[in-house]
Chains A and B, each alone.
Chain A
């Protein structure tokens, strides 16, 4: 589980860095940046599914489900929403939006790991 969330974190971080580069170069989001955001979104979907499977199969005490899936859903919505705004805002500020939303997903992942160490306890 932690490996998967590290992958998602790296994807989000790379997308954010790429978006910052685009913004610095006064570029609007193109298919490369949007593709990176889409990859990050897919990462969040996979992470959500993996957490769900683990939740369904593990015998331990159930996690606080509303919060856990709320966090995962928020992460996914952030990446998709940021990509959406970036796709339609054809200025550098669209790239800034993608950078901001991807950076926030990193904070979300960090929070998930604080609340549920190693996936969830």
Chain B
């Protein structure tokens, strides 16, 4: 591959003047993470709000966990947009997210009665093509790689 690699350039910290020619580098792969987390933040929030507002009593545990998942996705999205891949907050939030997926996924397998309705994290995100499970792993790998290559930043 002769093309210049675009993924390891320093991220555009101010997040604004990307149209200005100076910041040609952009965020690189980080922007994909931001987009995917944004999609999950949007869809999980919309879904859980509808569930909680319409019929919370049918599956309180599942719906509360849906809301928690939505909040986590929003938090990770904001942390990534503001701090980028080397943000400690983003890293901690992604670890929380991973624990959440694993915990809720295991719970739904062990005790399905608790979950009459599915959540984003049911059976490790089965309803979403297991992306909810793969996403935090991918994000963590990417963040740790970034931390090792640029320990000062």
Contacts and interface: CB of A to CB of B under 8 A. Distances in A.
B6 A82 contact: no
Contact of B42 (A66, A74, A93): A74
B32 A96 contact: yes
Residue among B6, B25, B28 facing the most chain A CB atoms (10 A cut-off): B6
A91 B28 contact: yes
Interface residues of B, number: 27
B127 to A, nearest CB: 10
A74 B1 CA distance: 37
A94 B3 contact: no
Contacts, number: 62
Interface residues of A, number: 22
Given A81-B38, A97-B35, A91 B46 contact: no
B117 interface: no
Nearest to B6: A91
Given A70-B50, A93-B7, A93-B28, 8 more contacts: A26-B4, A66-B54, A81-B38, A82-B35, A89-B27, A91-B6, A91-B27, A93-B26
